[in-house]
Each structure stands twice: as C-alpha cells, then as structure tokens.
Structure 1
Amino acid sequence: MSADAQTPAEPRQKAEAVVLVGGRGVRLRPLTLSAPKPMLPTAGVPFLSHLLSRIRAIGIEHVVLGTSYKAEVFEDHFGDGADLGLHIEYVVESEPLDTAGAIRNVSDRLTADDVLVFNGDILSGVDLAELLGTHRDTEADVTLHLVKVDDPRRFGCVPTDADGRVTDFLEKTENPPVDQINAGCYVFRREVIESIPEGRPVSVERETFPGLLSSGARMQGYIDSSYWLDMGTPAAFVRGSSDLVLGNAPSGALPGPTGRSLVAAGAEVAGDAVVDGGSAVGADCAIGSHAHVSASVLFDGAEVEAGAVVERSVLGAGARVGAGAVLRDVVIGDGATVGAECELLDGVRVWPGVELPPNGVRFSAD
C-alpha cells in the first residue's frame, strides 16, 4: 500500500505526532558513527523522511522529534518542516529517559487531545488514519499497533480480548500465548502522557503500560498484517531500503519511481553493469563495467570497480570496492577500501578509513 492509498480522511479533530529518534544505533555501527540511524540514506533519502511523509498524508501537521544522539543533524536537514508541509519542533533529551520518559519529555510542546507516537526506526505499512480512528471510536486511553509475527519470543507479547482490548503486556518469553507483538507505534490521550513521571527514565513496556492496565485504563489493540520491519540491524536496514525501492513498503518520499533500482542523479553506472534487487545508489557513485550490485545501499560517492559483486550490503560514503571483489551481507564504513579480488561475507563490518589488502584475501564474521 502506498502512502497515498491510506484512508484519505482528515482527522475529525487535530492530532499531533511524536517521533522518538534519540537512539545511538549501536547495532548499525559503523554506519551510525557519522549520522543517527533515522538519518541514514534509505532508498534515496533519510529514513525519517519516509515516516514523515506518511504522517503528513493523513493530515497531521505538527510533529515533535525527541532527539539526543547527534541531535543537530535532524534540524540541519529538516529545519522547521515547511518544505514537507509540516511544523517540526525538536526537543533534546540530555540523558537517557527510556521510551515513556522520552515521550513525557516532549509533552510541553503538545496541545492536541490525541498524539501518535512512533519509534523512529520502524518501517511500517499500517494505515495511520484507521489506527487513529480506532483509538477515537473505542475512546481508548492508549491504542497500540500490534502485528503478528512468526516468532514472537523475541518481542513483547500483547494479548487482547474479543473486542481488541489489551489484557496483558508480557516481556520476552519462551512460550508466548499469542503471536501478536508491540509494533512500536501508539496513540496516546495527551492526559496519559502528562501522567508519566517526569525527569527520570520510564519504560512503556515495564512501567507505563502495566500501570495503565492495573488502573483499569482502556488500552486498545489495533491488529493488522501490513508490512512491518524493525530497521535496527544492517540486514534489516538493507532489506527495508530495498523494499522501499521495490514498492513493497509504503512511502510518499521516494525521489523516483519504484523498480529494480533507484540511482541518484550524478551517479555513473557502466552500460553493462547490473544494478537490481531494489538497490539504492547515491549521488556521485560509480559502478564499473560488468559489476553487479544487488539489494544493496550505496551512500554518496561510493565506488564499485569493474567485475565486483555487491549483494545485500551497505557501502558508506566514499567507500571503494576493488575490481573483482565479492561482498555479500557486509557493511563497509565511510571512506574504507576493499582491495581487488577480496571476498567479504556473512556480517563482516569494515570500519571507516580501513584499507583491506587485495589479492584474494577472504574475510567472514565467523
């Protein structure tokens, strides 16, 4: 479903959005050494752009970003949000406050009755207008977007009754009673946000939600089977970017049509090179003769020399892959060099500026 295919109804009353983007993105290092995770180039634009486009598509105009790590990068790029038809404000978290604490930290910027809250590293196809409508129709205090997954043991498990009302909120368990999990997107009544303790770390999973349940508050589940992906690991990041390019995940922010690849203006791709699988190629990149780039992300200025193979991998800004090299499921930091005929496999991460020697050297994460 594209962003334009969401329910095209203006909310009955104004709602606002909060996006939590303060994490350090440790699982994505070395990519996040130079930029926060939500600002990494994803299908041609910063990842956060895709979410903001979907927020604007349902008529929400006021967005508050809860920032921390490299906070200035967000405002430098998005400014006041006017170019996106938004009014964006920024609140910096000076010390870690956990999810609920971070939500409470921005509460003085909120005026609407209903507030959509997003984890800033989730790529989702949920119909945001329907989610908001469910929250209002059920007169819920908090509504949680829930998705069904094949293996819920890795996530918080959220049982609901026949009316969709949340009955429990369980941490990771080896024997989850249901397959539906917290998807990292919520609608809060503003009064609930203001009741969260201020000035200290507060977890929504361990404190806020269990406390609301025990007090008899109405917590509603909105359950669907739309696209959903936590973009926190390199493999997930590559998959999410590829799915956006291929049109499998929704966005109104793609800088070009969906298809086999998305190649930025200024990139040079040899006529006999193959770029497919939803690859995103940044500005000023170069891909040489007979090279094959598949389901990968190339940041601005990356170079893939003749005959090299790059699959399901990320090349940081200015990274270079030598002729005949083979890269599968790896991350190459900004400015790093992979020598000719080198082979990197299965989760290898090359730090910025590192130069790997040529001539058939094989590296794997194992």
Structure 2
Amino acid sequence: MSTKNWQNVLISPTDTIKHALKVIDQEALRVALVVEKEKLLGVVTDGDIRRGILAGFGLEEPASQVMNKTPLTADSNLNTQELQQLMYDRDILSLPLVDKNGKLVGLKTLNETLKVQKRENPVFIMAGGFGTRLRPLTDNCPKPMLKVGGKPMLETLINNFKNYGFYRFYISTHYLPEIIENYFGDGSSFGIEITYVHEEKPLGTGGALSLLPKSLPKEPLIMINGDILTNVDFGKVLEFHIEQSCDATMCVRDYEIKIPFGVIEGEGHEITDIVEKPTYRYFVNAGIYVISNNIIESLPNNEHLDMPTLFEQKQSLGCRTLKFPIHEYWLDVGRHDDFNKAQTDIHELGI
C-alpha cells in the first residue's frame, strides 16, 4: 500500500520551482514527483531546490531544471519490510513505486514503513491438528507450538501478521489446546486480542469457520494453517481480495515437477511425440485464504468441510473465487525434513 495522498505531490516538468516548493511544504512528504503521461521523469526535494538556488536558478524557472533525473524507484510488488530496507540502505526518506511497465503507481515513505496501520480484519489460525508426521515431537506438544528459532511457530506467524497491522486473532484448537491457551492467554501480553475456537471433533478448515462467534467483525477474514512458516505480505493479499471484489481468495504456490525421463506421447501403439525430461508446472494450495463474511454466514454449523470443497461449492453457485500467487518464502512444516529446514531458514527471514 502506498502513501494515501501521494497524488497530491505530482507536478509537471513545466511547473515552477516555486510551485514544487509549495507542494513539498504543504504535503509534508518532503518530495515532489515530476510526472508526464504517468511516467516518472524525476524527483524534487528541498535539498534539490536549495542546490538549484545556489547554482543560480530562479523560483520561476521550471522544476525540471533542478530535479533528480535518475531517482531510485522500487517495484510496487515489494513488501513493506523490503521497501524499508531499501530506504535504509540508500539513506533516503521516500521511494516512488512503479509497476512492470514503468508507470508511477505510488509513493512509500520511510516514516510510513515504521508505522503500522491497524486493521480490523480478523485472522483465523488453524492450530488443532495432531501433527502425526512429526511424532515423537508432537506427542506432548501441538505442532504449531514446536519451536523454530527459539520460539513457537505460532508466535512467529502471529508476529508476522502484527507487522501488517492485524491484531484480532481467532485460534482453532483441538489437540492439546491448553498448551496454546496457557502460552498466549487472551493475547494482551502480545499486544493482540485472541479468541479461541475449540473443535470438539475435527471439522476441516472450512467446517471450523462455522464455529466462529456471531460477534466476528464483518470485514474479510484471513485464514491460515498454523504450521506455515512464511513472510508473505498479508496486507497485499487482503488488498487484492478487496480490490477484486472476491467472495473467497486462495493463495497458491507455483510448483514444478521435473520428469527425469523422456516422456512418450501417443495413441495406441503410435508414438506422436517424445518430450525429453519435461517440467510440468502447477499452482498448488498454499493454505492461506481470504474469506468474505457472506461466505462464513452461509456455512452450516458444525459440519465437516475442507477448503477446496468450499471453494468448489461456492464457485458452482456463482461466487467470485480467485487465486493469488505468492512468491515470498513459504514452508509447510509437516515433516521432519521441513522442520529441520525451518530451523535454518528462520534466521534469514527477518520475522
């Protein structure tokens, strides 16, 4: 998400230095963006104007005379942490955001990256599984409470959501719920609110939605499996869901399967083609969803339902169900190999 009033600092190359100075002072963003046909031509800061005056330029001359013609820009797909790091590394206070076509689409300030906008959207974390494949580690501990990098995976997941302003959490429990509840309590010591939703019997990810209280906020809900280690920008996922007017959004991962042999294609005994060591690519379910309130309210209470089936049902009824590809780090910690990999990867994620 870019600065809300970024369009107020757009000026044309023929606007005067005086006008640029007025824009910089009025908007308090410390910058004016020189734009022509939606393309960024340059950036003007207070320092640029001061240097221009020292060089003999008058205030009535075009701002293009003093602008920085080669400003640093950033891809609009970068998340807040990446933008913040870029500004720290280059010692700058703001970054124009451009899309893949070079069109100016926003502005991010360093000060904004240090502030987290509070979001009322609820977050529903599925933490009730038995973690059978991780036994004996899960014999006396729910899988999301296994420690990665010195703290429970569930705590790392919650902290990542907090980075994007989420504070209302609902946690679904079933196996050893007391361990989770004793650790997090009502969430106040972590700066969040937690409501626990206990499944008497496993209902599947879709079925658990029906147990959420009637007091649930009406905003779209983000749902995620509690055993996922990721630095996904949850704000971007939510914004996509809202902008596309979705009923349900499923995050997906690009998954490749490489066949180490020549694949023979044909009909009957006839060979029509030989494809040597092909790679097949698929989108796979990443276990992260955004669900609008109308979907939640439509669910039958206490009935088993998994998310893929829920998506199929709603799609057949004409609901808008879309996929959102994620390219960030993502690991489903389901097996011992995954758990060992997580112990190494956590130190490089910055979460």
Instruction: Give the equivalent residue in structure 2 for 1:70.
Output: 176
Distance 1:81 1:152 in 2: 44
Distance 1:177 1:219 in 2: 24
Instruction: Give the equivalent residue in structure 1 for 2:290.
Output: 187
**C-alpha distance after superposition, 1:66-121 (max 9, x if no partner):** 00000011110011111221001111100111110112222435123110001111
Contact 1:152 1:181 in 2 (8 A): no
**C-alpha distance after superposition, 1:150-195 (max 9, x if no partner):** 2399xxxxxxxxxxxxxxxxxxxxx998511110001111121121
Instruction: Give the equivalent residue in structure 1 for 2:307.
Output: 204
**Which of 227, 237, 240 does residue 134 from structure 1 map onto?**
240
Instruction: Give the equivalent residue in structure 1 for 2:187.
Output: 81
C-alpha displacement of 1:148? 0.6
Gapped regions of structure 1 (runs ≥ 5): 154-174, 252-366
**C-alpha distance after superposition, 1:18-67 (max 9, x if no partner):** 00000000000000001000001111001101100011111111100000
Distance 1:6 1:74 in 2: 34
Contact 2:257 2:279 in 1 (8 A): no
Report the identity percentage: 30
Distance 1:3 1:81 in 2: 24
Gapped regions of structure 2 (runs ≥ 5): 1-77, 85-112, 260-277
3-state SS in 1 of match to 2:245: coil
Distance 1:100 1:189 in 2: 13
Distance 2:258 2:287 in 1: 14
TM-score by length of 1: 0.58
Instruction: Give the equivalent residue in structure 1 for 2:322.
Output: 220
Counting only pairs closer than 5 Å after superposition, residues 173-322 of structure 1 correspond to structure 2 as 178-205=281-308, 207-245=309-347, 247=348, 249-251=349-351
Instruction: Give the equivalent residue in structure 1 for 2:148.
Output: 42
TM-score by length of 2: 0.60
Task: Output the amino acid matched with 2:328.
Answer: S
| RMSD of aligned Cα (Å) | 2.6
Bigger radius of gyration among the two: 2
Quickly say closer, same or farther: Cα 1:42–1:18, change in 2 above 3 A.
same
Distance 2:305 2:319 in 1: 18
Where is the helix percentage greater, Structure 1 or Structure 2?
2
C-alpha displacement of 1:226? 1.2
Quickly say closer, same or farther: Cα 1:84–1:65, change in 2 above 3 A.
same
Quickly say closer, same or farther: Cα 1:152–1:73, change in 2 above 3 A.
farther
Quickly say closer, same or farther: Cα 1:128–1:181, change in 2 above 3 A.
same
Task: Output the amino acid matched with 2:204.
Answer: D
3-state SS in 2 of match to 1:22: coil
Instruction: Give the equivalent residue in structure 2 for 1:96.
Output: 202
Contact 2:172 2:197 in 1 (8 A): yes
